[in-house]
Chain A
């Protein structure tokens, strides 16, 4: 599976949009981009995933660049409860396990 690069930490003001970047320049054509988050002392939680089209669900939006070498997770109106470590994972659809990188520690501040 392709490797991802994320900034180690970011701050965001409560109520503002949080934009979390991820670089995956070695992504293959059959690899998807997944985002999970982990709130302190809890198990990871699935957020969203996509292949090449932008995706949106009730939690977030995922913007993937045309060349698919990077993506951005957008939390449109961040709340204090969105404070967590966000993991960007690139993997083949049929893979049977998740490989976590370093993630981005997002701190939402009042």
Chain B
């Protein structure tokens, strides 16, 4: 079946540095990808919708200058956490819907990236 790959799976960075997370759709092209954030023992919260070739759409309260999203190709979306702080430590998950699949259950999620800012 369709696979969404995230890299890295875990990353530790120093406060003030930037971290890039990659989300790749394997064996299919995704014009739209979704980025979620999940704090410990909390539910997933949608951060932004990534659109290939255009600007991402951010959810209310998510700083677009802090969480830079680039969807430059049909198989790759990247999330860059800029000037990371300890409160940005979280589990980041992306998802995509393979074309031709039912939008109702076709969501495929990546395995997530655990970011720890020290």
Partner of B91, one of A41, A49, A87, A96: A41
Q: Kindly list chain B residues whose C-beta atoms are within 8 Å of the C-beta of A49.
A: 104-105
Q: How large is the interface on A (under 10, 10 to 19, 20 to 34, 35 or more residues)?
A: 20 to 34
Judged by a CB distance under 8 angstroms, whether A102 is at the interface is yes
B104 to chain A, nearest CB (A): 6
Of B13-21, B72-80, B81-89, B107-115, the one contacting chain A is: B107-115
Is the Cβ of A43 less than 8 Å from the Cβ of B43?
A: no
Taken together as a complex, chains A and B put the C-alpha atoms of A94 and B104 apart, in Å, by 8
Main secondary structure of the interface of A (DSSP, over half): loop
Is the Cβ of B109 less than 8 Å from the Cβ of A44?
A: yes
Q: CB within 8 Å of A: which of B23-60?
A: 32, 34, 36, 43-46, 49
Partner of A45, one of B44, B91, B109: B109
Q: Kindly list chain A residues whose C-beta atoms are within 8 Å of the C-beta of B114.
A: 41
Taken together as a complex, chains A and B put the C-alpha atoms of A102 and B34 apart, in Å, by 19
Taken together as a complex, chains A and B put the C-alpha atoms of A96 and B103 apart, in Å, by 8
Taken together as a complex, chains A and B put the C-alpha atoms of A49 and B102 apart, in Å, by 12
Judged by a CB distance under 8 angstroms, whether A101 is at the interface is yes
Is the Cβ of A43 less than 8 Å from the Cβ of B111?
A: yes
A71 to chain B, nearest CB (A): 15
A63 to chain B, nearest CB (A): 18
Known: A43-B109, A46-B107. A101 touches B43 (CB 8 A): yes
Taken together as a complex, chains A and B put the C-alpha atoms of A41 and B90 apart, in Å, by 11
Partner of A34, one of B45, B49, B105, B110: B105
Q: CB within 8 Å of B: which of A71-110?
A: 87, 93-94, 96-103
Known A-B contacts: A43-B93, A49-B104, A100-B36. Give 13 more (CB < 8 A).
A34-B104, A43-B109, A44-B93, A44-B95, A45-B109, A93-B104, A96-B49, A97-B46, A97-B49, A99-B46, A100-B43, A100-B45, A101-B43
**Would you give 10 A-B contacts (Cβ < 8 Å), ordered by A?**
A43-B6, A43-B95, A44-B95, A49-B104, A87-B43, A96-B49, A97-B34, A97-B49, A99-B46, A100-B44
Q: Which residues of B contact A (CB under 8 A)?
A: 4, 6, 32, 34, 36, 43-46, 49, 91, 93, 95, 103-105, 107, 109-112, 114
